[in-house]
Amino acid sequence: MAGEDATMEDLDSPSQWLVERARQSLRENNPYEAKAWLITAKTLYPKDFGIQYEAYSIERNAERVQESAKLFYIMFEQFPENDILWKEVVSFTDALESDVMDQHGKFLTDMFGCLPQHAQREILLKAAGRCKDYIERCRMMLLLMRRFPDVIPKNGVALTEMLIEAENSEYPAAPVNPYRKLLVCDVLPHLLASEKMTVSTSSAESQSGEDKEGIVSGISLAQVYKWLELSIQFYVSCTTAHNCMSENFDVHQSIVDTSIVAEVLDGQGPWIALHELFYLAAKKCGWVEICRIHERLDSKKYRSTNDHWTSILDLHHKLKKMSKHSLEEGTEEEVLEKTGLMFAAIILFLQTVWEYCRVVNRLDVIFEDSVEVNTQLSGNASASTAASDSPAPKKKKRKLASGRSGSPAKDDSKGKQPSHIIIDKNRTGEQKDSGKADCGSVSQNLSDDFAVSVEAWHLLNTYPDYKNDFLRLLDEWRVDQWNWMGTFKVDRLIYKGKYKKAVEFLQEQRNALEQDTSGNQELLIRGAIQLSCCYFRLDDHKRACEEALYGLQFFSARSSAGDNMTLKRSTSVHQGKLDASGNEPSSSSSSSTGGRCLRLIQCSETEVLSFTVRLLLSSLKQRLVTEGRNDTLLGHVVVLVQFGWPREEDAFYELLDRIRDQGGLRYRVFFSYVNNIDILEEFAHLYSDDSYNLDLVPLSTSGSGRAVTRGVNKGAKEDFRAAMERQVSRSDESFEPLLKAFLQNEKDSLLS
């Protein structure tokens, strides 16, 4: 009786005893006896979860799919809130989401599939509702929508709103975050591809309602537009963040999740993914013409930038023409197409700007992966090889010597002139040494990307139907903080001849850089060279030379410290036009046969030094034309023409004629900077003529100077001969050290 009393006091003991007997039978390898014990237990205690779960565990461990599913379904109906049961649900969902399926995972998946459809749906819905974490809840809802597409209309939009709200709360300033990634990469493609999802494209459809097939038509165009805006910002941020971080560039967002960036880049690629998502949205919104463009241009292959932009531009002109013939603002279909066209233009604009800036800024290895030869280059094909076929410095001299004759005409933006990017010769040599794609193909791709980005900017920034939304998006995305975009802005302004605006932007950029303690010297150098170009085109030659020498001093500082400075960025140095041969025209030549031209030079000491010398030469030559006798100015030009000899040989003989005409030259630093054998021989020959007075020898240590004129002073003759012999002996040495010393020591004189 005592034992029976104990059993009565503890009602669980009989059930637990029966469960233990079943376990014992299993340990003794007698599964049928174990089942018998559990059947007895379930009969006696039908509401006991432990007995039900034990019976389920036996079937699950034996991996009997049908039996396990049946017992789990009974438990789910009787004990829907049991925590142990929901741990099993987690194992199901993990298996359903897994890309790699092991044997146990396959069993769980098969077992879940054996559950009644309504049970599967209810389990996933309740699983999502039990998730406190937004990410987990989103995963459950995605799983539900993949298995049951009919729930998409009811739950899809709510899911997007939940993710957007969570992002605004936790990541207000970071477009690359887990919520945005789930929204853009997982949820939106599923929603937009669903046949169950419809979009209201007219006021008549604005009321949400469910028809007999369960399709909800309450999704507005405004929602789709918002999704597109978030998607564009996300994919552009992923693309640029990867490259910007790899070069320690100032990323335009406060937080960057590198794992998300890596995951996006490991897929089909941000731009292809963005184009595909845009295509899904276009089909939903009824952008018929945009869909035709997308179908014609395969996004999974390299898109011809020109072809893509031409298609967009043709559609723009078509819609514009239709609007002119319409008495009203346009049909509803036309308004829809214009919105689609705006998004298409924005995506292509951002893509081409990035591709251009990525190459110019050298943010990664530019000649691998994404740089391909585009044989459909429009315009003058010879322009792409101009940098290697023609001496770049000569073209630069002719360009500078023409003053402002190369300034852009007012109708440049209206004409369809081909644009050209010229990469200077040194860059070509570097490229050939690397064994990668030749410089010509890179120049062609840069030309395409730059031309399209400039035209797209013009269209989006001026046409009333696009401008307001475009400017709003630039502001919301904080594009002014995307430092790589500044490259395009400066080059676009220089290319369009808007030098004053370029100067304003570059000065603001310099002020910000100088306040930054880290001091990005590459950007300071690039900005100085671009400022120099702009000032020259504005006829402010003194400030142009000041800026060029300012940029050059950074290299001198590094060299004196024993640190070799390696720069990766390129800089646009000037803008002009090309004639039919791919060269820059003289002031009298017509530019109607060519197109606009933007030259790029590598931001290295060699290129910057070459640019500075050409700029100084051009400026000083123009002063020689307008001034009377100025021996110091004349002597400075003689020194500078040595650089790249014999390129300036003709100019030197013109200088020599001028010296003869004025009867001589007083330039006492002559022997400090001249070591060119041809120039020395000409001055030795000039000295032999009694009619010319040459004062070229520096003051003696005693402070007395001697005018070097043959036959007048024997001491002066000896000083001249000694100085000449000394310089002739140094004629085989490089001129570059003398040039650097000249620019440093004579800086004030050059600028005065």
Tell whether omega for the bond before 408 is within 30 degrees of 0, i.e. cis.
no
**CA end-to-end span of the chain, whole Å?**
121
pLDDT above 60 for 405:
no
Confidence band, pLDDT 50/70/90 cuts, at residue 556: confident
The larger pLDDT score, comparing residue 9 to residue 669, is at 669
Rounded Cα–Cα distance for residues 576 and 574 (Å): 7
pLDDT above 70 for 597:
yes
pLDDT above 80 for 147:
yes
Domain ranges across the chain: 10-130, 289-324+331-364+442-496, 639-700+713-751
Mean pLDDT lowest for which of 324-338, 677-691, 706-720?
A: 706-720
Mean pLDDT score of the chain, rounded to an integer? 76
Query: 10-130 has which CATH code?
Result: 1.25.40
Rounded Cα–Cα distance for residues 154 and 138 (Å): 14
Q: Say what the pTM is.
A: 0.78
Q: How confident is the model at residue 679, as a pLDDT?
A: 93
Q: How many Cα atoms within 13 Å fall on the side-chain side of residue 602?
A: 19
Asked whether the beta carbons of 491 and 457 are under 8 A apart, the reply is no
pLDDT above 50 for 44:
yes
Q: How confident is the model at residue 370, as a pLDDT?
A: 27
Within a 10 A sphere around the Cβ of 330, how many other Cβ atoms? 19
Structure tokens at 670: 């002559």
**C-alpha distances in angstroms, 729 versus 103, 287, 723?**
85, 77, 10
Q: What is the pLDDT of residues 686-705, one digit of tens each?
A: 988 888 898 898 876 334 44
pLDDT above 50 for 437:
no
Q: What is the pLDDT of residues 469-505, one digit of tens each?
A: 999 999 999 998 888 898 899 999 988 889 999 999 9
Q: How confident is the model at residue 589, as a pLDDT?
A: 31
Confidence band, pLDDT 50/70/90 cuts, at residue 275: very high
